[in-house]
Copies of this chain bind each other. A is one copy, B any other.
Amino acid sequence: MRLSTKAQYAVRAMVRLNLEQKDSPVSIREISTHENISLTYLEQLFAKLRRGKLVRSVRGPGGGYILARPAADIKVDQIIDSVEETLIPVSCMDEFGNCACSDQCVTHTVWQELGERIRGFLSSVSIEDLTNDARARIHRQREEQRKTE
């Protein structure tokens, strides 16, 4: 029951993009350095994020990526959808809860409800939330570092 690193990377990259984004686009290289993710792999992920209309690309010198919408309007479940990771916990079921099993699954209900809870939670969390959270954590760590010095 693990999220693929692809999905994790995508969320981290989006948060980082929002952290670094001021007025100008943020290059993939910058995100790669900060998050320690392979540059070529990030290219793949951002292609998908662009197709999912979560980011826009700016080409040419000084180019990079920018969020396509305000960070508060981008939810974690949308990011995961964009990189084509499913949030449905079993493979015999589609997104509407229909089950492909020939005879009735005796366990249908749990998985359906579980999927709904997972999506429900992830659709309630925005990039903005996570960015604020990250800022607070970075701040706290600096404070503690100062104390020990």
Contact = CB atoms under 8 A, between A and B. Distances in A.
> What number of copies of this chain does the assembly contain?
2
Interface string A106-117: 111111011001
A113 B62 CA distance: 37
Contacts of A108: 137
Interface stretch (A8-16, A45-53, A64-72): A8-16
A114 B3 CA distance: 11
Contact of A3 (B3, B90, B137): B90
Interface string A127-139: 0001101100110
A35 B133 CA distance: 46
Interface in A1-45: 1-4, 7-8, 11-12, 15-16, 19, 35-36
Contacts of A137: 104, 106, 108
A15 B89 CA distance: 18
Nearest to A103: B36
B2 A91 contact: yes
A114 B110 contact: no
Contact of A130 (B1, B86, B109): B109
